[in-house]
Amino acid sequence: MANSATEETWPALPFAEWKETAMMLHMWTQVVGKVRLALSPWTNHSWHVTLYLTARGLTTSPIYFGSRALQIDFDFVEHALRIQTGGTCFRTSLREMEKIIPLGPKSVAKFYREVMDALRELEIPVEINTTPNEVDPAIPFEQNEKDSAYDPEYANRFWRVLLQSDRVFKEFRAEFCGKCSPVHFFWGSFDLAVTRFSGRRAPQHPGGVPHLPDAVTREAYSHEVSSLGFWPGNEMMPEPVFYSYAYPEPPGFSEAKVQPSFAKYNPQLKEFVLPYEQMRRAESPDAALLQFARTTYDAASTLGDWDRAALTEVKPDLHSRPHRS
């Protein structure tokens, strides 16, 4: 049973209680993410499109329009979208450098129009592909007029779960010295992920992700990976989970013994899953999540014959350094 401190750190997130908000946020993050995509140079494995955690929500981080900087932040404390500009411009009025869009019940189409209008007013006209990625049906943003609820409590809970996951994922990431992604939020699949690479090329991915070009998927999986993430669920699988998978999946991976004991291999997803609700009720949720991250990576890298010794981080003993006065 989760105690009060755990409830605060790892809040309950039953998908059925906030599914309309989750589906709306998924589309809203796609609108913002596609702005970053349109204005950013291509980076391997689509790392140029992702969002990142902040102390209040999610951010694009600085992106650039010529010499001007643009940053778009979701604030799930005050429930607002902040669009800010800076750099080499002659503006002095804060009003002319920032637009704030309240987050509340509204359609995807209205949110899309508000974001595009705000960017034009900031003199950053940008065109994006308005067809959502990795969802089916993929209703273009400007045509999605269905009203939806926005539950600020659950939007805040979702951000808090992402924030704590980001914290633990970064501790796990620090144990690896090979090529590794940042801990970042993919708005296409609506999940937080960190991915380790063996350094070897992988067989060509078959593609087939809904409304995502196969060329993008194949470049993303051009090299062998072990990936860890958090996903809040959807209508088909309405349960938040942590996951871990390997591509290509080595023989024996699905039968590997991983910890904690309630982590299981899901043959439909082809990945190990750790149910969030069980994790948050563990005696030490952080320890349970790290155990899951480490043991699934151990299975992927050992069965996949990675050069584990070369990829293990060796940290300097800073306490043994001579003192310099």
pLDDT tens for each residue of 158-215: 999 999 999 999 999 999 999 999 999 999 999 999 999 999 999 999 999 999 999 9
The candidate with the shortest Cα–Cα distance to 129, out of 118, 119, 138, 117, is 138
* Domain map (residue ranges) of the chain: 11-143, 152-311
Buried b (16+ CB within 10 A) or exposed e, 207-231: eebeebeeebbeebbbbbbbbbbbb
Averages of pLDDT over each 10 residues, the chain, 325 residues = 74 97 97 98 97 98 95 98 82 72 97 97 96 96 91 98 98 97 98 98 96 97 98 94 98 98 96 98 98 98 97 75 51
- pTM, to two decimals: 0.93
In degrees, rounded to 5, the angle at the alpha carbon of residue 309 between the alpha carbons of residues 308 and 312 is 80
Neighbours of 297 (CB within 10 A): 23
**CB-based contact 40:49 (threshold 8 Å):** yes
* The pLDDT value given to residue 325: 44
